[in-house]
Structure 1
Amino acid sequence: MNDPIRFVRQPVALAALVCCAWHAHAQIELAPAAADPGALSPVVVTGERSGGVWRGAASIDVVDGESLRDGQAQINLSEGLAGVPGLVIRNRQNYAQDLQISVRGYGARATFGVRGVRLFVDGIPASAPDGSGQVANFPLGGADRIEVVRGPMAALYGASSGGALLLYTEEGQHPAQWRSGVVAGSDGLLRVSTQATGKTGAPKEPGWSYALDVSRFATDGARPQSEADRTNANLKLSRPHEGGRTVLVLNQHSSFALDPQGLSRAELNANPMQTTASAINFNTRKSVAQTQLGLAFEQALGGGHKLELMGYGGQRQVVQYQSIATGAQVPPGSSGGVIDLDRDYWGWNARWRHEGDWQGGRLSVSAGLASDHQSDQRKGYENFIGSTLGVQGKLRRDEVNRASTLDPYVQAEWRSKDLTLMGGVRQTRTEYESSDRFVGTGNADDSGRKTFQATLPVVGMRWQWTPAVQAFASVGKGYEIPTLNEVAYRSGGVSGFNAQLNAARSTSAELGLRGRAERFRWNATAFDIRTNDEIVVQNNTGGRTTFQNAGRTQRQGLELSGDWRYGPISLVSALTWMQAEYLDAFMTCTTTGCPNVNPQVQVPAGQRIPGLPMQQVFVQAAWDTGWAGSRVVFETRHVGRVMVNDLNSDSAVGHTLFNLGLHFKQDRGDWTLREFVRLDNLTDRRHLGSVIVNDGNNRFFEPGLGRKLLVGLEAQRRF
């Protein structure tokens, strides 16, 4: 069944970002600050070394690794992040397309992978320089924590940083630990994993710290043509030296997934668990392989100064068979129905940091220069030979696409007990170049190039109103560039580099309150985002998606979260309300060849931006029973109505799901055993897991799962 998959190497680098950390014990609870992650951190200045989020001015939630793993399959990032407000992360139940992720509305237009949200694993980006990324290689089994960055401060990561997800893996410690686990569930789901952490040498004279995570996952899928498997491996080595340390990170990922695609409204109503015929006829599928390597070095220079250097390099390969009709591949300039992508990418980050006492507070200053590069060798083939479908046919596309960035940045934070002042600026410059190597009769040279650049200032402050309540605010500029995929076609679906597509520019502001008491911690944040030149779909037919700039949009919202504990009872909740709409009318296309053929269709001002629910609610209640180390967990997840396209011609209705889990834990000397049983969608509610935004075939709908059972077992040993 599997196509050949070549393992390749792909690390990626970092840039810069913010401060503080809203540390979560169960889901969103404040906790003590984490250890400084060192040179592999993409953060420019962090407040976590001096009081955590309680003394910072940004919206950052931190979910710890134990919460990500406890009672979870540890397959999808959507399992453990439902309690983070402002984050929409939905499982498509389609492992060929990855999760659907948006932060405060950024990234909602992505029909596959992640757009507009920066991703990092141990400081190595899982996002390419053009802003595209995936979370399938996130090593959840070995995670120490995930930081979810929202708001204006996220722009300090550079272009296409409407938000950021940063996963940090565990650090090796004494004593060494080993754990292994297995999870089985409905639809043939099976996941096995092993983690090992520790240090060489003696406690007083440590050598290398190591942390290894290896996992294998497979499922038959809930629908026909949805079988998938995935293998991940992540190794982190670090060694201290006088005044600093060296860190090496190696990550490998390989996966194969059949693609069930979406359903039309008629197909959904007839049978939501079917698969559209074209997916089966063309045997739609996708294979991915990547390897990434990062090396970081940090050195104290004395007087509070520190130098941090990091480099990375790697490769990624994707082979994908689509269901594009054979007739649509006949015209000259067609790119075929098979994607064959080989990507090399690399980069570096050099940063100076200084921290010291100043004017009765603590001042942190950093400045640096980051550069990222990607080179894509992209080929396209027909997906048929004669009357045989779903096989690689004639070559129809051959080009090299390159993206490179060079970003200087600087940031400062001054903090005292009652006040924090933050400011930063990043100048981002991204150069695109496309070289067409498939030129012939009726197929002109489609090469092109364009440069995107912007200066992104951000300021923020935090004021301690009372010992138990704080206010914070920030405002800044954002900048989202189109991905290389999004500039691949000109107006009307004509092949060639779309130099007319501009970046979207935004102004983002937030104002929040947070408080803490003996048993209760809470956070309330209001935000407003105004965007010019929003990037939207112009036409999506014949396997080609053309993008355009649509004028102004606005996203306004409110995020509420709380964590209450009383003895053995705990309650965690998160609510997001967001109004996201187009402020300007624009023209879109619903026919092949548009806009060369009239009529066009107008999207009126006031239409909702598709892919975004207006409201999202998560509530988790847990009871530590005191019997045999058991814990009962009950979850409620509500997602509001979601529009499927810019015309708002159809929608996925809102739904509420209930999940129940029973967890056990036993400590027996050096051994710890954990077991869980989980039942998702208790009422077997028929619902839609996600939508494919602006799908050209009107197959917008990706059905969610019915009632599903998960059973897990994990053993841990300390040495």
Structure 2
Amino acid sequence: MKTLLRATAGLLACTGSGVSLAETSPTEPAAELAPLVITSPRTSSRWLTSPAAVSAVQADQSQGEQNLALDRLLAPVPGVFSQNRYNLAQGLRPSIRGFGARGSFGVRGVRVLVDGVPLTMPDGQTELDGLDLGLVERMEVIRGPASVLYGNAAGGVLAIETREPPATPYSFFDLSTGGLGYRRARVETGGMAGNLGGVLAFNSTVLDAYREHSRAETNTLSGKLRWYSDAGRLGLTFNAIDNRAEDPGGLTAAEVRGDRRQAAPNNLAYDADEHIRQQRLGLVWEGFGPGADTYQLRSYIGQRQFGNRLAFPNGGQTTFDRTFAGVGAQYSHKRELFGLAHTITSGVDLEAQRDDRRRYNSLLGTRGDETLRQDEKAASSGLFIQDEIALSEAWQATLGLRYDRVRLAVDDHFIRPTNGDDSGSRTLRDWNYSAGLSYRLDEHQSLYGRLSTSFEAPAVNELANPAGGGFNPSLEPSRALNREVGFKGEWPGLRYDLALFSMTLEDELIGFRLNDRNYFRNAGASRREGFEASLDWQFADAWRLSSAYSYSRFRFEDYRTAGGDFAGNDIPGIPRHNLFTELGFERASYYARLNMQAVGGMYAEDANQVSVAGYTLWNARVGKRFEAGGQVWEPYLGLDNLFDRRYFDNVRINDNNRRYFEPGPGRTLYVGMRATF
């Protein structure tokens, strides 16, 4: 804790918030900021006085991006660390204050929503492969436990908002190409007709990537319909994807020294890959109640077909057909009680999924005998209530309480004399609470403190028993208690945010590999302490500086396995230091940005015997807009890893074959052209 306090004192004078500033014209002074309003805490509230660590990111401040993964938008948010940008078979793995770092693929421990509808599955897993990044307009990030608001697996929250239908109809196409065999074609159209508006987009991307056996093809069709009335707004969203990606696997340190671009031998021999088809439909009604009351009704339904080939023979191919659905409702009531203004929000969430999962032996990439056939089910329900209380003109309090129930079940349909019935179920219940208090020092600055909890239940496939069939009887959900204090400031042209937190976790879920498969176990107790600071400063008409820094001291306090006692060791997969800084210049007709990300060293496994060196990457973006033939044209260029630094794009935590490393590419160029009609 003393180290954290020293880090805080050294950075107080030069850091601030990673939230958005208003655009400025090339001939006028920098536009003044309107007070930032956030909605991810379930109600609309003023960012400055909200007693929580929340960051907001505007996509229009990232022009000329390749939009390959969400990590570029997340980079200006302190406390967030992303890995695995280039291996699309595994997917981007972002973590918030360490939540999400344990997953071997996709997003774990973090709740993700798109336009108010959960992208996270009912069992707590999230895949970002269906998100069209070209549609993203804004994103809010709740840093730290938020289970009171969003239930299971809400160690942090990404609330993504996509483009709304504009009053003026438009159409555009965007073509880009570059190194690593990158090609992308994207078209989008939208507009309004009376009270009805819509947006439709198609995106197709091909990437050969840096390493052998890394080719990926993604195709996404996304749309949105909006109907507006005096009573509220109805939103319909739909999304369909058809993706295929090869998996090059992890390398040993010796293989990295021999050839950084090679694939793991077994990944080549077994043609490791995955293919996904998914369709998803969401419906949200946002209505107005009596007086200043508001309410929301939401629902979604979808299906996902998945198949993969892994790099081992026994049960090395998996398929599942998944159906998933959910409904939810919330109501916000404003009234005066005991002479104080209250905003009371209560709601319910109900979700369910069912997987028809099958597993087969892999005969060097071809399908062999069936080894598993089972139905996997997950159902979750949650009830919550939150009260925002204006104690005075300067003081604001927020109190919340939630109850969740998660039921996980397996029906085994592959029963043999040598393989008994592994059917079973587990029901997990948890109460979570949150209490926050903020004090407005003056018109521009505020202090806050917050106490909050979260829980994370194992997903169905994470309950696999390393000792044999059925559920792992010893695996428990993880629970966290977060304490934090923060300091925020907001002026025209400047926002900053400082946060200091300390977190204790019981039964933290830790991934490990055994016989080429991923399993999970609990660490008895662990502690996370950290400091976060960010700054967004429009210091001249066309110039902007953004910066975010995180110091993370995450360690095990009680954790013993057959491999040893790891108490006192750092939790692997999280760097101690993470710094992002970007300098941007923008006029009406052109823009340029230069950014730097410096990542400190970390460990690859629980024993802390294998260290991963830190790195610093520089990236540049330039673009120009001009009119010709009645259209607006925008050629743009991006250069990643400007100084050709060697680094690891991903670290596979606790790999039993010591294949921890996935090298990232060197200097990479891409160019594109966008035309708007």
Report what 1:575 is aligned to. Answer: 549
1:666 aligns with 2:639: no
Letter in 1 for 2:311: S
Distance 1:305 1:620 in 2: 41
In the TM superposition, residue 688 of structure 1 has moved relative to its aligned partner by 0.9
Name which of 295, 301, 311 aligns with 1:313. Answer: 301
- Aligned residues of 2:407 and 2:427 also touching (Cα < 8 A): yes
In the TM superposition, residue 178 of structure 1 has moved relative to its aligned partner by 1.9
- Aligned residues of 2:84 and 2:90 also touching (Cα < 8 A): no
1:25 aligns with 2:13: no
In the TM superposition, residue 55 of structure 1 has moved relative to its aligned partner by 2.5
Name which of 135, 149, 158 aligns with 1:142. Answer: 135
Report what 2:184 is aligned to. Answer: 191
Report what 1:641 is aligned to. Answer: 601
1:77 aligns with 2:70: yes
The within-5 A match list for 1:251-290 is 251-290=239-278
1:475 aligns with 2:451: yes
The within-5 A match list for 1:344-363 is 344-356=323-335, 362-363=341-342
2:368 partner SS: coil
In the TM superposition, residue 166 of structure 1 has moved relative to its aligned partner by 1.5
Letter in 2 for 1:84: V
Distance 1:225 1:421 in 2: 53
In the TM superposition, residue 637 of structure 1 has moved relative to its aligned partner by 0.8
State the Cα deviation string for residues 325-345 of structure 1 (Å, max 9, x = none).
Answer: x3xx2xxxxxx1001011111
State the Cα deviation string for residues 596-630 of structure 1 (Å, max 9, x = none).
Answer: xxxx3213211111110111001111234x6x833
1:221 partner SS: coil
Q: TM-score, normalised by structure 1?
A: 0.87
1:62 aligns with 2:38: no
In the TM superposition, residue 663 of structure 1 has moved relative to its aligned partner by 2.1
Distance 1:640 1:518 in 2: 33
Report what 1:126 is aligned to. Answer: 119
- Aligned residues of 1:78 and 1:91 also touching (Cα < 8 A): no
Distance 2:421 2:22 in 1: 56
Compared CA separation, residues 607 and 709, structure 1 to 2 (3 A): same
Compared CA separation, residues 306 and 469, structure 1 to 2 (3 A): closer
Report which stretch shifted further, 406-415 or 453-462.
406-415
Compared CA separation, residues 231 and 35, structure 1 to 2 (3 A): farther
Letter in 2 for 1:376: D
The within-5 A match list for 1:700-711 is 700-711=660-671
1:291 partner SS: strand
- Which is bigger in relative contact order (C-alpha 8 A, separation at least 6)? 2
Report what 1:151 is aligned to. Answer: 144
1:547 aligns with 2:520: yes
Distance 1:421 1:581 in 2: 31
Name which of 84, 88, 105 aligns with 1:91. Answer: 84
Letter in 2 for 1:59: A
Letter in 2 for 1:523: D
1:617 aligns with 2:579: yes
In the TM superposition, residue 360 of structure 1 has moved relative to its aligned partner by 7.6
State the Cα deviation string for residues 160-188 of structure 1 (Å, max 9, x = none).
Answer: 11011121111112112222211211011
- The unaligned stretches of length 5 or more in structure 2 are 1-16, 24-30
Name which of 559, 562, 573 aligns with 2:532. Answer: 559
Compared CA separation, residues 54 and 562, structure 1 to 2 (3 A): same
In the TM superposition, residue 540 of structure 1 has moved relative to its aligned partner by 2.0
The within-5 A match list for 1:225-244 is 225-244=213-232
Letter in 2 for 1:144: E
Letter in 2 for 1:449: S
Distance 2:43 2:106 in 1: 29
Report which stretch shifted further, 56-65 or 374-383.
56-65
- Aligned residues of 1:228 and 1:256 also touching (Cα < 8 A): yes
- Aligned residues of 2:591 and 2:624 also touching (Cα < 8 A): yes
Report what 2:461 is aligned to. Answer: 485
- Aligned residues of 1:65 and 1:142 also touching (Cα < 8 A): no
State the Cα deviation string for residues 579-611 of structure 1 (Å, max 9, x = none).
Answer: 000011311xxxxxxxxxxxx321321111111
Compared CA separation, residues 419 and 195, structure 1 to 2 (3 A): farther
- Aligned residues of 1:319 and 1:341 also touching (Cα < 8 A): yes
State the Cα deviation string for residues 430-464 of structure 1 (Å, max 9, x = none).
Answer: 00111111010211111111111111110112211
Compared CA separation, residues 553 and 488, structure 1 to 2 (3 A): same
Letter in 1 for 2:374: E
- Aligned residues of 2:111 and 2:156 also touching (Cα < 8 A): yes
Letter in 2 for 1:466: D
In the TM superposition, residue 124 of structure 1 has moved relative to its aligned partner by 2.1
State the Cα deviation string for residues 262-298 of structure 1 (Å, max 9, x = none).
Answer: 1111101111111111111111010011111112224
In the TM superposition, residue 251 of structure 1 has moved relative to its aligned partner by 1.1
1:79 partner SS: helix
Compared CA separation, residues 77 and 515, structure 1 to 2 (3 A): same
Distance 2:296 2:443 in 1: 36
Distance 1:242 1:93 in 2: 46
1:399 aligns with 2:374: yes
1:383 partner SS: strand
2:366 partner SS: coil
The within-5 A match list for 1:207-606 is 207-324=195-312, 326=313, 329=314, 336-356=315-335, 362-384=341-363, 389-415=364-390, 417-490=393-466, 492=467, 494-537=468-511, 540-567=513-540, 568-587=542-561, 600-606=562-568
Distance 1:421 1:641 in 2: 39
Compared CA separation, residues 524 and 46, structure 1 to 2 (3 A): same
- Aligned residues of 2:32 and 2:493 also touching (Cα < 8 A): no
- The unaligned stretches of length 5 or more in structure 1 are 1-20, 202-206, 330-335, 588-599
- Aligned residues of 1:176 and 1:199 also touching (Cα < 8 A): yes
Compared CA separation, residues 233 and 409, structure 1 to 2 (3 A): same
- Aligned residues of 1:155 and 1:162 also touching (Cα < 8 A): no
State the Cα deviation string for residues 305-359 of structure 1 (Å, max 9, x = none).
Answer: 34432221111111000011x3xx2xxxxxx100101111111112222235667
Letter in 1 for 2:536: D
Distance 1:263 1:115 in 2: 23
Q: TM-score, normalised by structure 2?
A: 0.92
In the TM superposition, residue 157 of structure 1 has moved relative to its aligned partner by 0.7
Compared CA separation, residues 499 and 670, structure 1 to 2 (3 A): farther
Report which stretch shifted further, 644-653 or 233-242.
233-242
- Aligned residues of 2:326 and 2:352 also touching (Cα < 8 A): yes
1:393 partner SS: strand
Report what 1:6 is aligned to. Answer: none
- Aligned residues of 2:409 and 2:424 also touching (Cα < 8 A): yes
Distance 1:402 1:629 in 2: 53
In the TM superposition, residue 421 of structure 1 has moved relative to its aligned partner by 1.4
- Aligned residues of 1:23 and 1:33 also touching (Cα < 8 A): no
Paired residues in the alignment total 652
Report what 1:594 is aligned to. Answer: none
1:682 partner SS: coil
Compared CA separation, residues 22 and 578, structure 1 to 2 (3 A): closer
Distance 1:309 1:529 in 2: 34
1:365 partner SS: strand
Compared CA separation, residues 632 and 549, structure 1 to 2 (3 A): same
Distance 1:300 1:517 in 2: 32
In the TM superposition, residue 564 of structure 1 has moved relative to its aligned partner by 2.2
1:269 partner SS: helix
State the Cα deviation string for residues 667-714 of structure 1 (Å, max 9, x = none).
Answer: 579743322211111111111112011112211101011000011211
